[in-house]
C-alpha cells in the first residue's frame, strides 16, 4: 500500500519530509499547502543552505511544484480545513501552529484520515516517540511527534531503564539555533531568547523534560532537561548524566551501548566527529563512544549527536507508518 501524505506548512520539516518521501516507493506526497508564493517555495526546496541543492530537477508551473517530472499540487489556503483532502492517509501538520484543537483537527475536517504534528502539541490525542511509546499512536487520529530532542533522548532512556534502571538524571541539549531566535537582538519571548542566535551561546529551556515525562511516565520526575542554543546552523547534541541502579563499569556501558546501536534509531561512532560530520544522519541519536564516561560512584555520562531536522523528519515518516498500522510498534 502506498501511503498518501499531504504536507501543511512547507518549512524546514515540510521540505525535509518531501526530500525523504521522493526517495521512497511506499509513500507519495499528494499535495502541499503553504501561504508563501509558489516561486519562493520551489526556490527554497531546490536550494537549501543546510542540506545543499536538491539533487534533481525542480521547477514550478501554475499551482504545482514539479520535481524530477513529478507534479505535486500546491495550495495557498490559510486554513487547511478549506481543502479537499479526501483520500489522504496522513496530513503532516508542519506549520508549528497546531497548538489548539480547532487547528490540530483542521486536516480531519478537510478529509484526511489522520494528522501528525511535527512538534509538541497539547491538542493532540497522544504524544508519541518511535522507540519509546509508539504503540500508543496506532490508530490515533491526531498525534504529536514530540520534539527532535525528545526523539533523541526518550528511546535511549527507555533502553537504559530496561537494562540498568534509571534512578535519576539530567540532560543538556547543545542545540543549534532555530527560527525561534532572531538574527539580531530583538524582542522574542524570554530575554535570553531575544539575543542574536548566531552570535552567542544562549542558555535556555527545552520541552524535552516535560515530553519525556509524557512518553515515559515510568520515569516521570526522574530526568530534568535544559538547553544551550549555540551558533551553528544544524546538528545538535545531547549530554546525558544518569545515575543507574545497576551501576555499570565504563567498559560494560560502552559495550552495551554499542550493542543496542546500529538500527534506525540509535547510531554509534568510534570516530572523533564534530557536528558538521553528522549532517543528514537519519538516526534519532548517534552515540559518540569517546565521550562515554563513568565517575566514581557510578554517575554515567553519555553523549550523542542528532540532526535535529533530518533525523526528526525520518521519524515523522516512521510515525506515519505506525499510525496507519503499516509497521509494528515497539514494545
For 245-300, what is each residue's pLDDT tens digit? 999 999 999 999 999 999 899 999 999 999 999 999 999 999 999 999 999 989 99
The mean of the pLDDT values for the chain is 96
Nearest to 148 by CA among 188, 124, 178: 178
Domain coordinates in residue numbering, the chain: 3-118, 148-308
Q: Which three cell numbers stand for residue 132?
A: 519509546
| Interhelix angle 12-21/38-46, nearest 10 degrees | 70
Are the C-beta atoms of 7 and 18 separated by less than 8 Å? yes
Q: Domain 3-118, what fold?
A: Rossmann fold (3.40.50)
CA distances from 302 to 153, 157, 160, 176, 261 (A): 11, 11, 11, 19, 13
Instruction: Give me the numbers of helices (H) and strands (E) for the chain, helices first please.
Output: 8, 17
Are the C-beta atoms of 112 and 88 separated by less than 8 Å? yes
In this prediction, residue 329 carries a pLDDT of: 54
Confidence of residue 326 (pLDDT cuts 50, 70, 90): confident
Question: String of b and e for 183-198 (b: at least 16 CB within 10 Å)?
Answer: eeeeeeeeeebebebe
Under DSSP, is residue 102 helix (H, G, I), strand (E, B) or coil? helix
In this prediction, residue 331 carries a pLDDT of: 43
Active site residues: 148
In this prediction, residue 328 carries a pLDDT of: 56
Would you say residue 85 has pLDDT above 60?
yes
**How many Cα atoms sit within 13 Å of 148 on the Cβ side?**
26
Confidence of residue 330 (pLDDT cuts 50, 70, 90): low
- Residue 298 Ramachandran class (φ > 0 left, ψ -120 to 50 alpha, else beta): left
Residue 180 has φ and ψ, to the nearest 5°, of -75, -10
Q: What share of the chain in percent tops pLDDT 90? A: 96
Would you say residue 42 has pLDDT above 50?
yes
CA distance 194 to 163: 42
> 4 forms bridges with which residues in the sheet?
28
Residues 226-254 have a mean pLDDT of 97
CA distance 190 to 29: 37
Confidence of residue 1 (pLDDT cuts 50, 70, 90): confident
Residues 29-54 have a mean pLDDT of 98
Residues 109-119 have a mean pLDDT of 98
Would you say residue 165 has pLDDT above 90?
yes
Q: What is the DSSP letter of 192?
A: G
Q: Which residues are within 8 A (CB) of 43 and not within 5 positions of it... i.e. 6 or more apart? A: none
CATH of domain 148-308: 3.30.360.10
Q: Is the pTM of this model over 0.85?
A: yes
Q: Which residues are within 8 A (CB) of 46 and not within 5 positions of it... i.e. 6 or more apart? A: 53, 54, 58
Residues 2-24 have a mean pLDDT of 98
**Neighbour count for residue 4 (Cβ, 10 Å):** 18
Q: What is the DSSP letter of 200?
A: S
DSSP letters for 7-38: EE--SHHHHHHHHHHTT-SSEEEEEEE-SS-H
Amino acid at each position: 500500500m502506498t501511503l498518501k501524505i499531504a504536507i501543511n506548512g512547507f518549512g524546514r520539516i515540510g521540505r525535509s519530509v518531501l526530500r525523504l518521501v521522493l526517495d521512497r516507493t511506499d509513500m507519495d506526497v499528494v499535495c502541499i499547502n503553504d501561504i508563501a508564493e509558489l516561486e519562493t517555495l520551489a526556490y527554497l526546496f531546490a536550494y537549501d543552505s543546510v542540506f545543499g541543492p536538491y539533487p534533481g530537477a525542480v521547477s514550478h508551473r501554475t499551482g504545482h511544484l514539479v520535481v524530477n517530472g513529478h507534479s505535486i499540487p500546491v495550495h495557498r489556503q490559510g486554513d487547511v480545513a478549506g481543502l479537499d483532502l479526501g483520500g489522504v492517509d496522513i496530513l503532516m501538520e508542519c506549520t508549528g501552529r497546531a497548538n489548539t484543537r480547532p487547528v490540530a483537527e483542521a486536516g480531519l475536517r478537510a478529509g484526511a484520515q489522520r494528522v501528525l504534528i511535527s512538534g509538541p502539541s497539547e491538542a493532540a490525542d497522544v504524544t508519541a516517540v518511535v522507540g519509546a511509546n509508539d504503540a500508543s499512536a496506532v490508530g490515533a487520529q491526531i498525534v504529536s511527534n514530540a520534539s527532535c530532542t525528545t526523539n533523541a533522548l526518550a528511546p535511549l532512556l527507555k533502553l537504559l531503564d530496561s537494562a540498568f534502571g534509571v534512578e535519576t538524571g539530567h540532560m543538556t541539549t547543545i542545540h543549534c539555533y532555530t527560527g525561534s531566535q532572531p538574527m539580531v537582538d530583538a524582542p522574542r519571548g524570554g530575554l535570553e531568547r531575544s539575543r542574536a542566535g548566531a552570535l552567542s551561546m544562549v542558555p535556555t529551556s527545552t520541552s524535552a523534560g516535560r515530553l519525556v515525562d509524557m512518553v515515559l511516565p515510568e520515569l516521570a520526575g526522574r530526568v530534568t532537561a535544559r538547553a544551550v542554543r549555540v551558533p551553528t546552523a544544524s546538528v545538535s547534541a545531547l549530554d546525558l548524566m544518569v545515575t543507574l541502579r545497576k551501576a555499570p563499569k565504563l567498559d560494560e556501558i560502552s559495550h552495551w551501548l554499542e550493542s543496542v546501536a546500529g538500527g534506525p534509531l540509535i547510531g554509534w561512532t568510534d570516530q572523533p566527529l564534530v557536528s558538521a560530520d553528522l549532517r543528514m544522519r537519519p538516526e534519532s541519536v548517534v552515540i559518540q563512544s569517546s565521550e562515554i564516561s563513568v565517575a566514581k560512584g557510578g554517575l554515567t555520562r553519555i553523549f550523542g549527536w542528532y540532526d535535529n531536522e533530518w533525523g526528526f523528519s525520518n521519524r515523522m515518516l516512521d510515525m506515519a507508518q505506525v499510525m496507519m498500522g503499516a509497521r509494528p510498534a515497539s514494545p
